[in-house]
Structure 1
């Protein structure tokens, strides 16, 4: 069960961070909408509404949106690995899925750093470098996960293919 928990903790941490970004977004966006007397109209495009507030306020909302895009693959892979860990006899060993859990935490850390950079100063090339690092980390997690699942048949896992 330790392997399952080690894979689920980063999932819950990233969901919690997404809620934190949502709070930051509303804490800056709602006062800005009042301060700048933002006109709302159901016929306005998102861009027309966003053009009424400063970019530094919009960055939080942009990041909140990003946390609903790229991490979807992370959730799928991490939850798939947790399911695999819960059905594998190898999960009784203490180091089972340790590399995968470390990659998951690295991904979460990079997403948090990406959020802070984007929501505060938004230097695009620095943000891109952090994003690229998170994508490479995600690819590593995917490769480790795919390798584990495809090898499951020979290890006696319940979900062997």
Structure 2
């Protein structure tokens, strides 16, 4: 038995050390993302944010965010994009995954993209000692009239 060990089990508050790299985070969390990148600052444009959920590690700047953004690109102003972004900040490094789709795609595609981003966010929160539980959200009907139905 080493000098630092005692006959008692390690205390629950004993700090554990891991070596994480952006590549490991991307491999483990963002395998299904459309785009991934690192940075020294957040890439999220607050003017485009539709929804934002954050988990913060108390006592430092580490955090995980799941952000929904909507935007139009200059090259094709008729197409609106929806972007689920998972942002992990550890120390000064941001590691980010994006799941993007055009708003014209159907509900199944939206559900898949949202689910993948939510899974990545839930898993990322473990890095800062948080758990995520699903909840229910009430959606209001759209203000515009729905598309006409077709019969098959």
Pick the TM interval, shorter chain.
0.3 to 0.5
Bigger proportion of residues as strand: 2
Larger RCO (CA under 8 A, 6+ residues apart): 1
Superposition TM-score, scaled by structure 2 size: 0.33
Superposition TM-score, scaled by structure 1 size: 0.31
